[in-house]
Amino acid sequence: MQHDAYRAMWERLDLDLPAHDGLLQVLGKFYGDIYMSQQGRLQGMEYLDFVLSEVHGLRIQELQDAKAQGRKVIGTFCVFVPEEITLAAGAIHVGLCSGAEAGTELAEQLVPRNTCALIKSFIGFKLAKLCPFTQSCDLVVGETTCDGKKKAYEAFAEHVPMLVLEVPQQKRACDRELWKAEVLRYKAEVEALTGQTITAQSLAAAIRTVNARRRVLQRLGALRAASPAPISGRDALLINQVSFYDDPERFTGAISTLCDQMEARVAAGEGVAPADTPRLLLSGCPMAVPNWKLPYVVESAGAVIVGEESCIGTRNTRDLVDESGTTVEEMIDAIVDRYLRIDCACFTPNSERMDNVVDLARAQKADGVLQYTLLFCQPYGHESMKLARRLEAEGIPNLAIETDYSMEDVEQLKTRVEAFVEMLRSRRG
Amino acid sequence: MAEIVALGIDVGSRSMELVALDAQAAVVDSARLPTTFHPVAQLAALLAGRTAPMVTATGYGRELVGQVVGSEVATITEITAYALGAAVSAPRARTILDIGGQDTKAIRLDAQGQVLKFEMNDRCAAGTGKFLEHMATVFQIPVEEFGVFALGGREGVRINAMCTVFAETEATSLMAQGHRPEDIAWALHASVCQRTASMLGRVGLTPPLLFAGGVARNPCMVRLVEKLTGVSPIIPEDPDTVGALGAAYHAWRRWASSAQSAS
Ligand code: SF4
Ligand code: SF4
C-alpha cells in the first residue's frame, strides 16, 4: 500500500503510528465487508471509494500542502458552524467525524460514562492520537447545542485550540439577535486567524460554493424517491459523510456526475433492489464516518434506505442561503436566517422537525421510518417519543432503535429490524 | 399418525421447540429441548429424523436450522412467528405478551392479526424468566413452585433495582430486616411485571391479551399482569410453543399455496 509514503506526515502530526495502522486495517476490512460486497453499484461510487481509501492519506496531504501555503484548517462538530464564513476567509472547513469507537477508556477520564458515543469518539480519537484531521486543525469550533457537547468542549479545550459559538435554543427575535452576534464573532475570529478580511465578493463566492454542494445533495436525495431505488442507503450515507471533509468544488463535480448516472438508471427503471423492497427513512442522530452499522443491518435485512433525516443528511442540505444579497451585511443576514432554520433536537419546541420528517417520508415514498438514537442522547431520545406519536397519527409505521458504536448488539438489532421489515411487507400484502 | 406437511422450529437462547402440522393445519406432534451450548446437536435431537415438505424456523438461532434439516428452510423473526402463533391459538387476540427465558416481547396486532407495533427487551435479564429463575434459586425453591409461593405474599415490600444482581442484594437485605419471604417473592414478581406493563403500555395494550412464554405458567405473574393492566390474559394451552406454532403455520401456508399451484 502507499501508506509508507504518508508515514512521515503522520509522524509529524504526532499520531500514534502502531495504533493508527491498526485503525486503518480495521477500517479497510469494515469497508470491504459493508461496501465492496454490494451488487450493482453505480460506477461513480469509485470516486467515493477512492476518497475514503485516501481519507487519512491524500486528503491530509492536501491539507498539509494548503497549510504550507499559509491557509488555515478549521475543524467542526456540528452543522451550525457557518462554512460560508470559513471559506470566505480562505480557510478550509472540515467536519471532524467521530463515528467509531476508539480511545474510549481515555475519553471516560474526561467525560462521564453516560455520554453519547459521538462525543466519546471525538475525545477518544484525540487522546489516542488517531485522527490526522484533528491534528491538522488550527482551530476547532464547538457550539452550545446539547449539554454533552457543551461540557465536553471544556475538557477538549485543554487539548486543542477551541472556540465555542453560542447556539440559541429557541427561535424568537432575540434568539436571532444572539445568533447573529455569534456569527459576527465567528467572522471576526476567522478573519483574525487567517489575516484575511471577508469581502462581499469572497462571501458571495463562498455562499455559491456551499449552496452548490447542498444542491447536488438535494438532487441526489430527490433521485432516491424513485422506485426501484437507484442507490443503496449505505452509498448515499457515505456520500453525505464524505461531503464533510472533501474539497467542496471537487466533491460537487463528482456527485453531479454520479447523479447523471442515477438519472439514467431511473429512466431505465433500474435499481439496486427490486421495486417491492420495503423503503425506509432513517431519522435522528448523525451517523458520522465510519458509522455504517445500522444501514448495513437494515439493508442486509432486505430493505433499502431512501433518505437520512439527520445532520449527515437532509438537516445539512435542505435549506440554502439566499443568494440575492449584495453587501456583506445582507449576506450575513441570509446566513443567520438559513442556519436558524436547522431543526436540531437541541431546540425547543422544534415542532418543525416533526413536519419535516413526515414530509420527507412522503416525498421519498418511504414505507416506514427507522428512528436512530445514540444511547445517552437526551435531545433525540426525547424527540424520538414525540416523533413516534406523530408518525403513528400520520399512519406511518416507525421503529425506534437506541444503540451506540459497539458491535455487541448487532444480533438484537437484526431481529428488531427484520421484524419491522416483515411487518412492512405483510402490510403491503 | 397423520402425515406431517409442515414443521415449525423456534430456536431460543434457552430452549428450542418444534411443532408439526398435518394437511388440515392440526398440531400432530411437538417437542422441546434445552438449547445448551451445542444448539446444532440439540436441534438434531429435537428433529429426531422428522422431515416435512416445508420447514420454517424462528428465534435467535433460526439460521442454524438449515444446517440440520438439509432441505431449504424459511426464516422469520420471533415477532412474526408470535403473531402467526396467536392467529392460530387465540385468533381474537390483539396484543401478545411473551415472557421467555431470556427475552420479553410485547406485540400489538390489528383486527386481521397483522403486527402493528412491537417492543423487545433482549439485552438484559431483568424483566425476563431468567430473573425469576435466578431468584427462585436464591429462595431455594424449584422455579415451577416459585409463583405459587409468591402468591402467598402481600403487597407492601418493594424491590427497586432493575438489575438482577442488585435485586438479589435488595432481596437479601429485606430478608435480613425480617420481611416475610413470601412478601419479598411477591415484590420480585411485581418488579418483573412492572417492566412488562410499561412495555405493554408503549405498544398500546388492546384486549384481548395473549400471555405466552414459559413465564405464563407462573400464577403469580398472571395475577400481577391482570392487576397492573386491568386485563385478564388468555393463557394458551402450551405457552412455550406459540413461536414454534407460528413458524409451523407459516410453513403450512407455504405448503398449502404450493399444493394449490401444483393442482
Ligand atoms: S444534531 Fe444538532 S448538535 Fe448535532 S450536529 Fe446536528 S445540529 Fe449540531
Ligand atoms: S448525538 Fe445527541 S448527545 Fe451526542 S452530541 Fe449529538 S445531540 Fe449531543
Q: How far apart are CA B234 and CA B225, in angstroms?
A: 11
Residue B16 scores a pLDDT above 70: yes
Q: With contacts defined as CB-CB under 8 Å, which chain B residues touch A419?
A: 77-80, 115, 118, 120
Q: Are A427 and B76 a contacting pair at CB < 8 A?
A: no
**Rg of chain B's alpha carbons, rounded to an integer?**
19
Residue B126, pLDDT > 80, answer no
Grid cell of B158 as nine digits: 418493594
Who among B78, B115, B123 is closest to A409 (CB)? B123
Q: How far apart are CA B91 and CA A246, in angstroms?
A: 57
Residues carrying CATH 3.30.420.40, chain B: 1-90+240-263, 92-235
**Quick one: which atom of ligand 2 is closest to the CA of A285?**
1
Distance CA B123, CA B102 (A): 9
- What pLDDT is stored for residue A2 in this prediction? 57
C-alpha A356 – ligand 1 centre gap (Å): 16
Mean pLDDT lowest among A96-105, A342-351, B60-69, B156-165: B156-165
- Specify the pLDDT at position B13: 85
Find the residue in B nearest to A428 (Cα).
B114
Question: Cα–Cα distance between A247 and A48 in angstroms, integer?
Answer: 13
Portion 16-75 of B in contact with A at CB < 8 A: 60
Q: Which of B60, B76, B120 sits opposite A416 (nearest CB)?
A: B120
CA of B2, closest CA in chain A: separation in Å? 31
Mean pLDDT over residues B149-160, rounded?
89
Distances (CA, A) of A56 to A5, A76, A94, A95, A288: 12, 17, 13, 14, 15
Query: A371 has which bridge partners?
Result: A283, A400
- With beta carbons less than 8 A apart as the criterion, state whether A200 and A331 touch: yes
Phi-psi sector, B237: left (phi>0), alpha (psi -120 to 50), beta: alpha
* Contact in structure between A107 and A116 (CB atoms under 8 Å): no
Contact between chains at B77 and A422 (C-beta distance less than 8 A) = yes
CA distances from A353 to A25, A168, A172, A391, A403 (A): 39, 16, 16, 12, 22
- For chain B, give the percent of residues with pLDDT over 90: 71
pLDDT band, residue B231 (cuts 50/70/90): very high
CATH architecture of the domain formed by B92-235: 2-Layer Sandwich (3.30)
Choose the most confident range, by mean pLDDT, from A210-224, B88-102, B148-162.
A210-224
Residues of A in CB contact (< 8 Å) with B are 397, 409, 411-412, 415-416, 418-419, 422-423, 426-427
For residue A400, the CA-to-ligand 2 centroid distance in Å is 16
Write out chain B residues lying below 8 Å of A407, CB-based.
none
Cβ pair B122:A412 closer than 8 A: yes
Shortest CA distance from A410: residue in chain B: B123
Residue identifier of the C-alpha nearest atom 3 of ligand 2: A377
State the average pLDDT over residues B83-98: 96
Return d(Cα B5, Cα B56) in angstroms, integer. Answer: 12
**How far is the C-alpha of A78 from the C-alpha of A182, rounded, in Å?**
15
Q: Would you say B68 and B48 are in contact if contact means Cβ atoms under 8 Å apart?
A: no
pLDDT bin (cut points 50, 70, 90) of residue B47 is very high
Q: Indicate yes or no: CB of A415 within 8 angstroms of CB of B122.
A: yes
Say if residue B123's pLDDT is above 80. Answer: no
In chain B, which residue ranges form alpha helices assigned H by DSSP? 39-47, 65-69, 78-89, 129-139, 143-151, 164-176, 181-203, 219-229, 242-262
Please work out whether the CB of residue A342 comes within 6 Å of at least one atom of ligand 1: yes
CATH number of the domain located at residue range(s) B1-90+240-263 in this protein: 3.30.420.40
Task: Give the distance (Å) from ligand 1 centre to CA of residue A40.
Answer: 33
CB-based contact A307:A221 (threshold 8 Å): yes
DSSP state of B155: B
Chain B: closest CA distance from residue A409 (Å): 8
CA distances from B11 to B131, B176, B243, B246, B253 (A): 20, 40, 9, 13, 20
pLDDT at B141 over 80: yes
CB contact under 8 A, A412 and B123: yes
Contact B77 A418 (CB under 8 A): yes
Rounded CA gap, A306 and A229, in Å? 7
Q: Strands, E, within A279-409: which ranges?
A: 279-284, 304-309, 368-374, 398-403
Question: Are B120 and A409 an interchain contact pair (Cβ–Cβ within 8 Å)?
Answer: no
Cell numbers for B191: 418488579
- Average pLDDT per consecutive 10 residues, chain A (429 residues; last block may be shorter): 81 95 92 91 93 93 97 97 98 93 93 96 95 96 97 95 97 98 98 98 98 98 98 97 96 97 96 96 96 96 97 98 98 98 97 98 98 97 97 96 93 94 89
| pLDDT at position A39 | 87
Residue A1 pLDDT: 45
* pLDDT at residue B161 greater than cutoff 80: no
Q: Give the per-residue pLDDT at A14.
A: 95
Grid cell at residue B136? 427462585
* Nine-digit cell string for A214: 447542498
Give residues (CB < 6 A) around ligand 2. Answer: A 116, 118-119, 145-146, 148-149, 285, 374, 377, 379-380
Q: How many beta-carbon pairs below 8 A join chains A and B?
A: 36
Strand-pairing partners, residue B109, are B115
ipTM reported for the complex surpasses 0.95 = no
Q: Which residue among B60, B78, B80 sits closest to A411, beta carbon to beta carbon?
A: B60
Nearest by CB: A426 against B114, B120, B123: B114
Report whether A332 contacts A181 (CB < 8 A): no
Nearest to A50 by CA among A37, A35, A63, A39: A35
Residue A426, min C-alpha distance to chain B (Å): 7
Which domains does chain A possess?
3-170 (3.40.50.11890), 205-319+345-428 (3.40.50.11900)
Q: Are residues A415 and B115, on separate chains, in Cβ contact within 8 Å? A: no
Average pLDDT of the segment spanning B42-59: 94
- Neighbouring C-beta atoms of residue A4, cutoff 10 Å: 7
